Amino acid sequence: MNYNIAVIPGDGIGPDIVEQGKLVLDKVGEKFGHSFEYKEVLAGGIAIDKVGEPLPQETIDVCKKSDSVLLGAVGGPKWDNLADRPEKALLGLRSELELFANIRPATMFDQLRDACPLKDEIIGDGGLDLVVVRELTGGIYFGERGRQGEKAFDTMEYGVDEIKRIAKVGFDIAMKRNKKVTSIDKANILENSRLWRSVVEEMAKDYPEVEVNHLYVDNGAMQLVINPKQFDVILTGNMFGDILSDEASMITGSIGMLPSASLGSSKLGMYEPIHGSAPDIAGMDKANPIATILSVAMMLRYSFDLEDEAKAIEKAVEEVLEDGYRTGDIMSKGMKSIGTKEMGSLIASKL
């Protein structure tokens, strides 16, 4: 089959890593008999520089007409003091494409165990493998905000339907994993969290096989450090998900390796590494393309229902790591240091 992919290289190392994502996709196409057509569009700092705004309408239009979106990274200190910052492109894409579900697996790669900041006895056997399901188009990110005299305010708001649809995503993912959902909120303080909790409890009735529990966000932040293995699926709102998914990916020690998917109610999704644009190493063939390559695997899985193809990529990544190849960010003693392009080619060659 033929798939149309909108490609947003973005800023910093974005172009470097996206190139390797495409390389791997093309190899998958060759091997499994699909073809991928790419349409490159602007967003982020580069769009500010070229057309004066972080998210041009053309980008939105192209993305909407595509089967999925591959994004490198946006932002950088260069644009940090603008009112219309590169990050607006991300928020705009999420809301324009109605990508309400952000899926962020936090997996520890066994080959990178040494890079994990937590003690071995906490990780134990089998490493770490949890996934954060973060609501992405609501909450305090999109509520009313403004100034009133010397005051500034933001509104954290959730409606029943918004909570329902993200909760359903969380429970469905749990059903394919270890059937455990931990919903994280601050229901001892926040009204929107109380609504969140009651909707999640209601939804739990439809999934009798799933074990559900609730944690306050402060406790969640602690549990991730002291006992991360208790988690299977963490289901949470936009802001708490932002904080906890970053914390969760950091404890795996594999943050340069972690992909993400942003999904909506159609098959159209946006796929991107969770790491940033690392402008200091842009264009130097130093960036680790694995997070992007694994994001491509998520694209095959979630947008195109190509599970075998997704697994093939994940296996190829594992094999290259097993062979001892490492980019600079994950280099350790006795391993073979390679660049962005060689990492991409090696993974493609394993397919």
Q: Is 3 noted as a catalytic residue in this protein?
A: no
Q: Which residues contact 345 (CB under 8 A, 6 or more apart)?
A: 23
Q: Is 38 noted as a catalytic residue in this protein?
A: no
Of 1, 82, 222, 284, which one interacts with its own copies (CB under 8 A)? 222
- Contacted by 251, from its own copies, ligand IPM, none: CB < 5 to 8 Å by type: its own copies
The Cβ of residue 189 has, within 10 Å, a number of other Cβ atoms equal to 10
Q: Check: CB of residue 119 under 8 Å from CB of residue 97.
A: no
Q: Among residues 160 and 284, whose Cβ is nearest to its own copies?
A: 160
Residue 146 tokens, joined: 């403004």
Minimal CA–CA distance to 260: which of 278, 280, 247, 275? 275
* DSSP H helices in 33-71: 45-51, 57-65
Minimal CA–CA distance to 268: which of 97, 21, 43, 89? 97
Q: Is there binding between residue 87 and its own copies (CB under 8 A)?
A: yes
Q: How far is the CB of 155 from its own copies (least distance, A)?
A: 5
Q: Among residues 90 and 115, whose Cβ is nearest to ligand IPM?
A: 90
Q: Is there binding between residue 153 and its own copies (CB under 8 A)?
A: yes
| Catalytic hit among 3, 185, 242, 325 | 242
Q: Is there binding between residue 145 and its own copies (CB under 8 A)?
A: yes
- Contacted by 117, from ligand IPM, its own copies, none: CB < 5 to 8 Å by type: its own copies
Indicate the DSSP class of residue 265: S
| Catalytic hit among 158, 185, 186, 325 | 186
Q: Is there binding between residue 100 and its own copies (CB under 8 A)?
A: no
Residue 100 tokens, joined: 């309400």
Of 33, 146, 208, 334, which one interacts with its own copies (CB under 8 A)? 146
Q: Is 246 noted as a catalytic residue in this protein?
A: yes
CA distance 9 to 270: 13
CA distance 15 to 11: 7
Interface residues toward its own copies, by CB under 8 A = 85, 87, 91, 116-119, 122, 140-141, 143, 145-147, 150-161, 186, 188-195, 217-219, 221-222, 224-226, 239, 242-247, 249-251, 255
